[in-house]
Amino acid sequence: MRRLEPWFLSLRSALPLVALALASAPGCFVTIADPAVDSTGGRPTAGAGGEHAGGATSSGGFDGGVAGAGGAGGNAGDGSVKVCGVCSLAHVAKYGCSDGGCTIDECADGFVDCDGKADTGCETDFHVESGDASGAVATKLTPELDGDGAEWSGLRAYSMRLPCTDCLGTQPGGQNGEQILGEPAGSKDLTATFRVAWDETALYVFAQVHDDQIVALEASNLERQDGVELLLNGDLNDVNNQYGPDVHHLFVGVLPPTGVANVVERNQQLQMGDIRAATHVAARCYFVEMSLAWPYVMGRVPHTPVAGELHGFTIAVNDWDSPPLTSDPLARQTQYFWVVPGKNYSYETTGFGVVSVQ
């Protein structure tokens, strides 16, 4: 058996990693640019020129409707007329026209165009559960870990949108002195949700993130690239709030070098079978799917989960973005949590939320 490298768990034999051509030189940003949209959705039909009218806003919910009829294509400004006719794009509030094809100007509320393709509309649902902001429900489900969230669509989703205002300014969460600039991120810049599930073998987490720039400051360092940060406290019967074998601080990077594991733990060394993870990167979004074995969650002791039990849990999204010339190039732009932990969350469990197994 091949020896595990420190901090990393090789997943090569368990799941295919996202194969990306990345530069790995330290200090250089690796970026997936937002590509120009190939706007081929809709059917071009003959019609008069003039300004186009936006389609009707689609309905909300998981089964939101399709945008209504719009106007004819408008003048392109070069003397030619681009004609689109009626565009029927799923979950699109406003559309436009370019080179005879429909384009997406605005998604319906709660939906995102992740793949950058007009013909699929705003295909990804980012609606979230309202209610208790400190407790999440894990539904029984055994997902296929492939970075595709299709089987998660019926489960409750929760938002990551809270800044860690109480974190230490120069070393938030013990991140090796790396600052978080705390720049506000609007919905067009950063939107993140997650879901949790379980079965008798593992706790599962699925996160989806809409990010206008998907980047890595260092492709070989998962803490210095866009991704999610997970905090777990498996055994809530601990006598104190200090980290023990059942407390885990995990990073999942979405742009690791090809062939390198995309999970790292800061509290202890991972062992074979502890975690499986898969990531998928689209044009404007990325998706993270994780399986955390119950013995690992509970501090390397056997555990059979039962409905109603609680576990300490919170999750964050890290957004690096290409830094402006005036900023510290080693600083994350934004870090948004579901439940904001205490400022010493790198070694204390104070402030963690809870996940309930149902």
Which one has a higher pLDDT value, 337 or 171? 337
**Which of 131-135, 228-232, 286-290, 337-341 shows the lowest mean pLDDT across its residues?**
131-135
- Helix residue ranges, H only, 298-338: none
CATH number listed for the domain at residues 128-357: 2.60.40.1190
For residue 8, name the pLDDT band (cuts at 50, 70, 90).
very low
Model-level pTM?
0.77
Q: What is the DSSP letter of 54?
A: P
For residue 38, name the pLDDT band (cuts at 50, 70, 90).
very low
**Residue 268 pLDDT more than 70?**
yes
**Residue 152 pLDDT more than 60?**
yes
**Residue 232 pLDDT more than 60?**
yes
* Domain locations in the chain as residue ranges: 36-115, 128-357
pLDDT tens, position by position, 58-74: 222 222 223 333 333 33
Other Cβ atoms less than 10 A from the Cβ of 68: the count is 15
Contact predicate 350/341, CB 8 Å: yes
Entry field: residues in the chain: 358
Buried b / exposed e over 34-48, threshold 16 CB at 10 Å, is eeebebebbebeeee
pLDDT tens, position by position, 174-224: 455 567 777 777 877 899 999 999 999 999 999 999 998 999 888 888 988
